[in-house]
Homo-oligomer: A and B are copies of this chain.
Amino acid sequence: MDRFVANYTLRLDSKGRVSIPAPYRSILGRDGFDGLYCYPALDRPAIDAGGNALMAEIEALIARYAPFSEAREQFAIALYGTSETLKTDGEGRMILSDTLKAHAGITDAVAFVGLGHKFQIWEPKRFASQLAEATDQVRELRKQLGSQSTAPGARE
Contacts and interface: CB of A to CB of B under 8 A. Distances in A.
Interface of A: 3-7, 23, 41-44, 48, 55, 57-62, 64, 67-68, 70, 73-85, 113-116, 118, 120, 130-131, 133-135, 137-139, 142, 152-156
Nearest to A86: B6
A6 B81 contact: yes
A96 to B, nearest CB: 13
A64 to B, nearest CB: 8
A89 to B, nearest CB: 17
A85 B23 CA distance: 10
B137 A74 contact: yes
Contact of A114 (B70, B83, B120, B138): B83
Contact of A42 (B5, B48, B64, B138): B138
